[in-house]
Every structure is written in structure tokens, then in C-alpha cells.
Amino acid sequence: MNQKETELIIPYHVGIIMDGNGRWAKKKGLPRYIGHTYGAQTFRNITRYISKQGVKVLTLYAFSTENWKRPPEEVNAIMKIFRQYLTDALTDFRDDDIKVRFIGDRSAFGKEMVKLIDETEDVAKDRQGMLLNIAMNYGSRDEILRAVKLICQNVKDGKINIEEITDKEIQSGLYTANIPDPDLIIRTGGEHRLSNFLLYQSAYAEFYSSETLWPDFKPEDFDKAILEFNRRNRRFGGV
């Protein structure tokens, strides 16, 4: 961003729904899974750029609980890219001081994948820069259900009373516990829906839809979202 743009308010927490990999590939006459390979490179470039802009938390929607319904060859390609990323991530973002975390249900992944996830988080745990949340096998309804079950168990065990259940209690059971709610949700690919992404946390987030397909998403596209964010009047239910 130029000097004038650096005076803009930078959101603390940004969420991005990385949409359009398959459509990007189809437009070029390529198999859908090829789009995810190019999308992975955009993921790295944009993450580094956003970190340099001063965003403190970035949550990227990589693979939803519903994405398992996609064609097997596409799912397999995504898992292969994810596995390669985990291998690379042991050193990736090290020089950028970016802390990496994974949110979502890990039970669907094999032992080797879970081990790589744990190692990646452990290597990055002491970094002091931007927190990068990668949502894999993530679904917000599933996340909320998980939080409700945790609360029910605490009530059953006598740890809390029903009257003590508050918004804070619910938030503590979410994957994003202790992380401020997102200020801005960006969706690429021109769609205008959240698709089961951070539903509870996004109650007062600003939503921005970019027509750009994810593999083509550039720093200037992110800058446009920030400019629009600064035009919004965030009242949080007030006047």
C-alpha cells in the first residue's frame, strides 16, 4: 500500500474463503484439481502480504466438512497438496515469523497427517508475528455442536450451572477460543455466502465479495477489500 493507504484502519482479524480454484482451472481447460495447485501458491503469497500489512490474525478456509462430497480425484489432489504443504511448513513462514495453527476436526485425517499437523504447530508456536489459522475439515455448524457438547458435559460433571452459561462459555468451546472475532470476511470467486465459515464468530464482521478467482487473487485485490472495509460504518447493533 502507498503512504495514503497506510493511514487506513487495518482489521485485526481477517477471514478469507478461498473460492474459485476449480472454476479457474475449468476456464483454462484444465482439470479442476490443477486449480488447487495454483491456489496453494496464491495462499503463500497473500499470507505473506497480509502479514506485512499489519493484520494480527488471518483465518483461511481451505477445506470444509462438506468438501468431501467433491469428486475423489479432486479431494485426493487437495489432500496431496495439504500433505506437501505440511512438509514444507516445517520451515515455511519461518522468516516471516508467522505462527501457524490448524482449526477443524482432525479425526478424518490419517495418523501421518495428524503428526505433521502437530509438528507444524509445534515448530511455529513461539513465533511472535501474525497468527495464521488454516481451516481444514472445518465446518462452523460442526464447531458450534462441539462447543455445545463441551458445555453439556461440564454441566453434567457439575463444573458449571445452566445459569452460568454465557457467550464467553460458548466461545471458549470454539476452535477460535481466545482469538478476537473477525472484523472482515473476504470471499473470492464472486459468491455472496459464508458457506458454513465462522458463523458464530462473524456476527458483526464486514463481508466483502471479490469477483477474482482465488488463483488470480493479488495484493491489489486485498487492498480493495481494505479500502471498502474503511468505508463501512460499523455500529455493532447501535445507532
* CB of 61 closer than 8 Å to CB of 197: yes
Q: How many whole angstroms separate alpha carbon 67 and alpha carbon 191?
A: 16
- Give the pLDDT of residue 223: 98
Predicted TM-score (pTM) of the model is: 0.92
Q: Which domain holds residue 18?
A: 10-139+181-229
Question: How many Cβ atoms from other residues are within 10 Å of residue 145's Cβ?
Answer: 12
Across-strand partners of 133? Answer: 59, 101
Q: What is the largest CA-CA distance in the chain?
A: 59
Cβ atoms of residues 59 and 15 within 8 Å: yes
Q: Give the per-residue pLDDT at 3.
A: 45
pLDDT for 236 equals: 79
Residues annotated as catalytic are 19, 67
234 inside domain:
no
239 belongs to a structural domain = no
Q: Is 57 a member of any domain?
A: yes
In a domain, 3, yes or no: no
pLDDT in tens, the chain (239 residues): 654 555 899 999 999 999 999 999 999 999 998 999 999 999 999 999 999 999 999 999 998 998 898 888 888 888 888 888 777 766 778 888 999 999 999 998 889 889 989 998 998 999 999 999 999 999 999 999 999 999 999 999 999 999 999 999 999 999 999 999 999 999 999 999 999 999 999 999 999 999 999 999 999 999 999 999 999 988 877 76
Number of folded domains that form the chain: 1
Report the distance separating Cα 144 and Cα 170, nearest Å: 8
Provide the CATH number for the domain around residue 225: 3.40.1180.10
Identify whether 47 is part of a domain. yes
Q: Is residue 165 part of a domain?
A: no
Domain-embedded: residue 54: yes
Look at residue 77 in the predicted model and tell me its pLDDT.
84
Distance from chain centroid for Cα 208: 15
Give a yes or no: residue 170 inside a domain: no
